[in-house]
Amino acid sequence: MKRLSALDALFLYMETPETPMHVASLTTFKPEAPSDDLFERFRAHTAARLDLLPSYRRRLESTPLGLDHPVWLTDDKLDLDYHIRRAALPKPGGMAELRALVAQLHAVPLDRARPLWEYTFIEGLEDGGFAVYVKVHHCAMDGVAGMATLGVIYDFAPDPEDERPPSRMVPPDPETTDAIELTSTALGDFVRQGWRAVKALPSVARALTKTGPNLLRDAKFLYGYVKDMPRTPFNAAISGHRVYATSSLPLAEVRALARSRGATVNDVVLALTAGALRRYLGDRGALPDKPLTAGVPASLRPMGDAQLNNQVIFTLSHLPTDVAEPLPRLVAAQASGREAKDLFADMREFVTTNVSILGAPLAIVGVARLWSGARASNWIWPFFNLVVSNVPGPRQPMYCVGAKATHYFPLSIPYHGCALNVTVQSYLDTLDFGLIACSDTVPDAQRIADFIVEDFSALKAADAEFAKPDIVAKIALALAAKPAPAPTPTPLILAEAKPAPKPKPKSAKVVKASPLGLQIDALGAATEALRKKLAEREAAGAGVVKPAVAKSVAGKPAPKRRKTTKAAESAGAPAAPEPAAKTPRKGAKPAPAHAPAEPAVRPARAKATAGTKTVRKRRATGAETEAKESS
């Protein structure tokens, strides 16, 4: 008896009638000569190896009351007629008919009361070929672990006798399991897990010390992805109907292109997927301005680890669907891949795949069913737009009943809010793409697969053109011959007139006046009052005598000379002399606008004091005379 890890069990809890959580592969074979007993030979081949692969005999057993994750039990009563099936394609037996049949098979969930696997032997392919569709629940293994089972499912030599048979992998399990044992082991696992968590605290502290400086960067990275993620037609609740699409590329050419650009095969896969989705969404009028976000599975499995379980985590990567040209799109995909790797390097320090929480099965299953029943993916923002996965496949040829495999296509899982899954596997010198989607959401998924091939041709052509030795000169000539673009006139947008902002009043500087300045100001005010009275009297009398205008000195107007009236002379009032020039002092207020101008030629500083006293005496005398006349 072996309990599922938390990650393994999660694929069970998230399963709904519309989203079966199994993965599969489709392998096509080309026999050297036609034969009528191919299916019987394949069934006998599988029956002879039932004890070599644990997944052949393992079935699930739930824990009572959903206290903990289910366990694996060995099933000795295996019905091969149920697990190994036979099907035939209608004529002409091409890839279109094969894809349609596989889409129907992939839409059917596995029976949890039996071991979670099915093989379908498909006959009737054109040119006398056949195919094998292998379906396994994702709770049993991930893609990397599935590669380790190929040596049992198929052969790596045309004649099985040329190989040494694999060693036994499934030990007998004679122990009986009842409800009491399942409950007690669940409680024991929960207690043991708590103790393991306590012992793991030092390692957690070391991981925090190692990744602490990057936590802020990673948080900004994740927030930017969520904030900028657009919504596409793929991000909706799906049905249980499926559509399957395939395409293939020469792996040698993909690797050569990656090397020439300093990229990886995974970078090229992301760039090609982005180019195909750009065309597909553009044709539907649904291409967003921002790049799409892909969920990219990354393996946590150490080198050489072939355990049949799940050790995988999802990272995020931008798909540069907003870049039109092939080579710049590859550069953008390469930069996004580096960001995803940096994030994954920090996250893997904290990820564990084995957590036991009492009551977790009931809680997670309830949330998944509520999510599916409420069609929440139609109005809640998606976690990512689609899934893109790249799994390295076998580098040696595979055989089934003596026939060599020609292609090895993968199939994965679409889910609510993520109706399209693109998975890539390599086999020999071929890179095989398998696209599985909800047929109600993406009915023409084969167009995306075809666009991947066309975009690869465009990328190769751009790379070949860029590699020419005279490309720099050609680009320079093209830029020189190209006329400068005319400036685009900015359209006038009429808007409602807004009132001009009121100028802020400037605060006047408060300057403390000197005593002499205050006296001068008072004298100026008295002189102004006297002039007003004289002007009134002149207007009432014989008339006003206009002063002569003298020529200015240094371009400035000469000061006006004041003449007294005859009445003033007869009264004995002396004529008002010219005021002496004054040096402006700090803090003194400017003279009024209608005050007489200062003389242009200033007397010497030594005479200024005497002149000021004389002016004060004469103005005082004039003021006394004026007072007498008015009385």
Quick one: which of 423, 469, 429 has its CA closest to 448? 423
User: Are 237 and 372 in contact, with CB atoms under 8 Å apart?
Assistant: yes
Bigger pLDDT: 550 or 333?
333
Across the range 500-508, mean pLDDT stands at 49
Stretch among 31-35, 78-82, 346-350 having the lowest mean pLDDT = 346-350
pLDDT at 459: 95
Is 492 within the bounds of a domain? no
What percentage of the chain carries pLDDT values higher than 90? Answer: 39
pLDDT at 565: 45
For residue 127, the 8-state DSSP code is G
Model confidence over 46-66: pLDDT tens digits?
Answer: 999 988 888 899 999 887 766
For residue 299, the 8-state DSSP code is E
For residue 442, the 8-state DSSP code is -
pLDDT at 114: 94
pLDDT at 547: 46
Model confidence over 113-122: pLDDT tens digits?
Answer: 999 999 999 9
pLDDT at 371: 74
When pLDDT is cut at 50, 70 and 90, the band that residue 523 belongs to is low
pLDDT at 313: 83
Length of the chain measured in residues: 631
Bigger pLDDT: 590 or 224?
224
pLDDT at 124: 93
Residue 481, pLDDT > 70, answer: no
Model confidence over 507-516: pLDDT tens digits?
Answer: 444 444 555 5
Question: To the nearest whole number, what is the mean pLDDT of the chain?
Answer: 77
Bigger pLDDT: 43 or 225?
43
Residue 599, pLDDT > 70, answer: no
When pLDDT is cut at 50, 70 and 90, the band that residue 573 belongs to is very low
- Distance between CA atoms of 619 and 578, rounded to whole angstroms? 11
pLDDT at 29: 96
- Distance between CA atoms of 581 and 604, rounded to whole angstroms? 9
Residue 151, pLDDT > 50, answer: yes
Is 334 within the bounds of a domain? yes
Bigger pLDDT: 246 or 603?
246
pLDDT at 497: 47
Is 608 within the bounds of a domain? no
Is 496 within the bounds of a domain? no
- Beta carbons within 8 Å of 61's beta carbon, 6+ residues apart: 1, 70, 71, 72, 73, 177, 182
Is 581 within the bounds of a domain? no
When pLDDT is cut at 50, 70 and 90, the band that residue 580 belongs to is very low
Model confidence over 233-287: pLDDT tens digits?
Answer: 999 999 999 999 999 999 999 999 999 999 999 999 999 999 999 999 999 999 9
Across the range 581-585, mean pLDDT stands at 48
pLDDT at 95: 95
Residue 588, pLDDT > 60, answer: no
Q: What CATH number corresponds to the domain at position 218? A: 3.30.559.30
Stretch among 202-206, 368-372, 419-423 having the lowest mean pLDDT = 202-206
Q: Is the model's pTM score more than 0.85?
A: no
Model confidence over 166-214: pLDDT tens digits?
Answer: 555 544 444 545 566 666 666 666 666 565 566 656 665 666 666 666 6
Stretch among 313-327, 352-366, 413-427 having the lowest mean pLDDT = 352-366
Bigger pLDDT: 298 or 608?
298
Model confidence over 306-320: pLDDT tens digits?
Answer: 788 888 888 888 999
Stretch among 75-84, 404-413, 541-550 having the lowest mean pLDDT = 541-550
pLDDT at 138: 95
User: Are 281 and 232 in contact, with CB atoms under 8 Å apart?
Assistant: yes
Q: Cβ of 424: how many Cβ atoms within 10 Å?
A: 26
Is 33 within the bounds of a domain? yes
Q: Cβ of 166: how many Cβ atoms within 10 Å?
A: 12
Across the range 342-371, mean pLDDT stands at 64
pLDDT at 34: 82
Across the range 559-577, mean pLDDT stands at 45
pLDDT at 362: 65
Structural domain containing residue 434: 2-473
What percentage of the chain carries pLDDT values higher than 70? Answer: 63
User: Are 321 and 288 in contact, with CB atoms under 8 Å apart?
Assistant: yes
Query: Which whole-number Å values give the CA distances from 240 to 30, 419, 435, in the listed order?
Result: 32, 11, 16
pLDDT at 492: 46
Structure tokens at 582: 């004054």
pLDDT at 470: 61
pLDDT at 408: 97
Structure tokens at 167: 């060693």
- Beta carbons within 8 Å of 321's beta carbon, 6+ residues apart: 274, 277, 278, 281, 287, 288, 291, 292
Is 467 within the bounds of a domain? yes
Stretch among 129-143, 168-182, 387-401, 433-447 having the lowest mean pLDDT = 168-182
When pLDDT is cut at 50, 70 and 90, the band that residue 535 belongs to is confident
Cis status of the peptide bond prior to 92, with omega within 30 of 0: yes
Which of 106, 138, 318, 407 is catalytic? The answer is 138
Residue 220, pLDDT > 80, answer: no
Q: Which phi and psi angles does 182 have, rounded to 5°?
A: -60, -40
pLDDT at 119: 97
pLDDT at 236: 92
**Is residue 623 helix, strand or coil?**
helix
Is 579 within the bounds of a domain? no
Phi-psi category of residue 389: left, alpha or beta, with phi > 0 → left and psi -120 to 50 → alpha:
beta
Phi-psi category of residue 193: left, alpha or beta, with phi > 0 → left and psi -120 to 50 → alpha:
alpha
* The total number of structural domains that make up the chain: 1
Q: Any catalytic annotation for residue 138?
A: yes
